[in-house]
Structure 1
Amino acid sequence: MRVHQYVYFKLASRQVPAAEITARLGVEPDEVTVRGSRQTEPPVPVCHTWRIVCRKPGLAVDEQIDQVLDRLSDHADRIGELVAELFQDDENVGFSVLQVVRVFEHPDGEDEDLTSPVEGLRKLPGQHQLLGWHLDARVLSFLRRTHAVLDIDEYAYG
């Protein structure tokens, strides 16, 4: 089995562009989208978005989450304040999300490593090294402080 996965933290708003979010937070995003940049009526995408992303291969989901939080934890309270404003001013459309995306059997995914024993035990097929992850107290606190939801999407390629 091959697994391709990545994690991102996203702020979204119909009214506040990514450049303003960057100015308010003092953090440069890795990716942005502009509302209506692909189609104006109806607008597609429907929101401006600001994202911090970890696509580093070889890391489990919790390790990718740690990479994102390492960049954002010091800004969590400011993010939370901004999200509260976006939610109030943007008619319930401003939001924040910690997104986990996994695609099984993706051609760019990582192969299962059956050669490295774990604690002296032989690995069997179906025990991919990237499967399994957890959320620790730091992550849960960050989600609470930033008013973020956790969204997990898993897909099969093809």
Structure 2
Amino acid sequence: MIVSQYVYFAPSSKWVSAAEIAARLGLEPDEIVVRGSCLASPARPASHRWKITCRKPGLTVEEQINRIVDRLFDHAERIGELAVELDNVDGEPGASVLQVVRVFEHPDGEEEDLTGPVEGLEKLAGQHQLLGWHVDARVLEFLRLTRAALDVDEYAYG
């Protein structure tokens, strides 16, 4: 099995640009998404996004999430306040998300490591080292403070 995965945190809005979100937060994003940059009508992407990402290979989802939370935790309350404002501007909830994306059998993904035992146990195919993760109390507090949803998408490549 081959697994490719990444995590990002993103406030988003239909009407407030990623540049304005950056200015309001006083933080530069790793990536931005511009509403309607692929298709004007209907707008695709559907909203502007300011994104902090972790795409480092070899890390579990848990480790990727923790890297993002470590970068943003000190700004969480301010992000949460902005999320409330963006929800009000857009007229609907959901301005803030912690997104996990995992793609199985992606050619750029990581092969399953079947070399050597782990803690004396034999490794079997289908027990990829990147599978399995959890969120701890600090991550849950970050989600609460930023008013973020946790969204997990898993896809099969092809």
TM range (shorter): over 0.9
CA contact (8 A) 1:13 1:93 kept: no
CA contact (8 A) 2:101 2:153 kept: yes
CA contact (8 A) 1:14 1:94 kept: no
Q: CA deviation at 1:108?
A: 0.6
Report the equivalent of 1:73.
Answer: 73
- Name which of structure 1's ranges 94-103 and 127-136 shifts more when overlaid on structure 2: 94-103
Report the equivalent of 1:9.
Answer: 9
Distance between the aligned counterparts of 1:150 and 1:94, measured in 2? Answer: 11
Flag the 1:15–1:93 CA change in 2: closer, same or farther, 3 A: farther
Partner-residue secondary structure (3-state), 2:147: coil
Q: CA deviation at 1:49?
A: 0.7
Calculate the TM-score normalised by the size of structure 1: 0.95
Report the equivalent of 1:103.
Answer: 103
Q: CA deviation at 1:93?
A: 5.8
Distance between the aligned counterparts of 1:47 and 1:100, measured in 2? Answer: 18
Gaps of 5+ in 2: none
Q: CA deviation at 1:74?
A: 0.7
Q: CA deviation at 1:26?
A: 1.4
Calculate the TM-score normalised by the size of structure 2: 0.95
Report the equivalent of 2:37.
Answer: 37
Deviations 1:83-120 (A, max 9, x none): 00111121116611100011111101100101132112
Report the equivalent of 1:139.
Answer: 139
CA contact (8 A) 1:3 1:104 kept: yes
Report the equivalent of 2:55.
Answer: 55
Q: CA deviation at 1:151?
A: 0.5
Moved over 6 A (4+): none
Q: What is the number of equivalent residue pairs in this alignment?
A: 158
Partner-residue secondary structure (3-state), 2:3: strand
Partner-residue secondary structure (3-state), 2:32: strand
1:111-150 correspondence runs (5 A): 111-150=111-150
Distance between the aligned counterparts of 1:20 and 1:116, measured in 2? Answer: 50
Cα RMSD over matched residues? Answer: 1.2
Q: Partner amino acid for 1:72?
A: L
Q: Partner amino acid for 1:122?
A: E
Q: Partner amino acid for 1:78?
A: R
Flag the 1:13–1:95 CA change in 2: closer, same or farther, 3 A: same
Q: Partner amino acid for 1:149?
A: A
Flag the 1:64–1:126 CA change in 2: closer, same or farther, 3 A: same
CA contact (8 A) 1:14 1:93 kept: no
Report the equivalent of 1:46.
Answer: 46
Gaps of 5+ in 1: none
